[in-house]
């Protein structure tokens, strides 16, 4: 999906919501737990219930890899569902945090852009340019580099101050931005440090930011909007657990739909301010 199409979808749905499919088999609704296709049935129902309100889905690969070959089969089924659901096209992200030397990152790009046809993959920047560049060679596909994450461990290295006066995450933003464009590169900026989103936005004024941490992790959507929006919105805000597990009963999809709609309505309010 190209930049202009993503912005169009955001305007059409009045939403910059990304629904995170971090599907934990143990947390499935009671009637689906332990059934042969429970994970995929759950994903299908969540996608159908939330797609009027979401422009993006983010599939956390770890939760599938934990189930071995069966999990990888589920991942293949779910990207199939995401690419074929009845609503408008969505921006589908493999949240995989990959990154390795160039010849290996090439293989990861094949994995998540070809074998599993996602629109984007999250990548870890520690190994530098050749670990990210292979993901930037596919027209219409995106790398989403970690910059400042939403977890406690973000303080360990990302917030280290460099000799040049910057925090490491600011250096990562400034340097990584030179390897791609606003059309193939986004950055992860966690909502649990909303005041730092302003620093992220200052470093990369024109890039989209993928913002996890709203919902179960405690971040505020209002803060994310205030500190992070740019003239083309420039935000995809992810919520996972608060939507997926809104109910553990047979009404889980309806409950997920309501949670997604609440976020979408708040987003529509902010978008209306832009005019």
> By C-beta, is 62 or 88 nearer to a copy of itself?
62
User: What is the spatial distance between Cα 189 and Cα 235, in angstroms, rounded to a whole number?
Assistant: 10
User: What is the spatial distance between Cα 45 and Cα 254, in angstroms, rounded to a whole number?
Assistant: 9
Are 64 and 71 within 8 A, CB to CB? Answer: yes
In whole angstroms, the minimum distance from the beta carbon of 180 to a copy of itself comes to 14
Are 209 and 235 within 8 A, CB to CB? Answer: yes
> By C-beta, is 10 or 154 nearer to a copy of itself?
154
> By C-beta, is 146 or 263 nearer to a copy of itself?
146
In whole angstroms, the minimum distance from the beta carbon of 254 to a copy of itself comes to 26
In whole angstroms, the minimum distance from the beta carbon of 167 to a copy of itself comes to 10
Residues that bind a copy of itself (CB under 8 A): 22, 24, 60, 62-63, 65-69, 71-73, 76, 95, 97-102, 104-105, 107-108, 110-112, 114-116, 124-132, 146, 149-158, 160-163, 165, 168, 171-172, 175
> By C-beta, is 72 or 138 nearer to a copy of itself?
72
Comparing CA positions, the residue from 4, 20, 2, 12 lying closest to residue 236 is 20
Give the three-class secondary structure for 233: strand
User: What is the spatial distance between Cα 76 and Cα 92, in angstroms, rounded to a whole number?
Assistant: 13
In whole angstroms, the minimum distance from the beta carbon of 124 to a copy of itself comes to 4
Catalytic residue flag (residue 97) = yes
For 232-242, letters b (16+ CB in 10 Å) and e give bbbbbbbbbeb
User: What is the spatial distance between Cα 120 and Cα 99, in angstroms, rounded to a whole number?
Assistant: 14
Catalytic residue among 33, 97, 137, 141: 97
In whole angstroms, the minimum distance from the beta carbon of 91 to a copy of itself comes to 20
User: What is the spatial distance between Cα 208 and Cα 230, in angstroms, rounded to a whole number?
Assistant: 9
> By C-beta, is 163 or 272 nearer to a copy of itself?
163
Give the three-class secondary structure for 58: strand
What are the residue numbers of the active site? 97
């Amino acid at each position: 999906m190209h930049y202009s199409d993503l912005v169009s979808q955001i305007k059409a749905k009045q939403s910059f919501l990304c629904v995170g499919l971090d599907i934990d088999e143990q947390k499935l609704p009671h009637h689906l737990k332990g059934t042969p296709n429970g994970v995929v049935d759950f994903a299908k129902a969540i996608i159908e219930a939330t797609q009027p309100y979401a422009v993006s889905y983010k599939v956390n690969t770890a939760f599938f890899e934990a189930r071995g070959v069966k999990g990888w089969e589920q991942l293949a089924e779910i990207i199939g569902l995401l690419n074929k659901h009845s609503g408008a096209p969505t921006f589908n992200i493999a949240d995989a945090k990959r990154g390795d030397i160039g010849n290996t990152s090439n293989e990861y790009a094949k994995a998540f852009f070809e074998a599993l046809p996602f629109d984007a993959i999250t990548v870890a920047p520690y190994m530098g340019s050749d670990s990210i560049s292979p993901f930037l060679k596919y027209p219409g596909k995106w790398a989403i580099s970690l910059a400042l994450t939403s977890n406690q461990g973000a303080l360990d290295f990302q917030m280290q101050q460099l000799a040049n006066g910057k925090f490491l995450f600011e250096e990562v933003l400034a340097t990584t931005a030179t390897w791609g464009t606003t059309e193939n590169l986004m950055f992860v900026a966690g909502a649990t440090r909303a005041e730092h989103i302003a620093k992220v936005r200052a470093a990369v004024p024109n890039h989209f930011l993928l913002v996890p941490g709203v919902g179960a992790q405690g971040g505020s959507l209002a803060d994310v909007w205030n500190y992070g929006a740019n003239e083309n919105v420039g935000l995809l805000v992810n919520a996972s657990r608060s939507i997926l597990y809104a109910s553990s009963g047979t009404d889980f999809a309806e409950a997920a739909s309501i949670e997604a709609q609440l976020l979408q309505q708040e987003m529509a309010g902010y978008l209306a301010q832009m005019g």
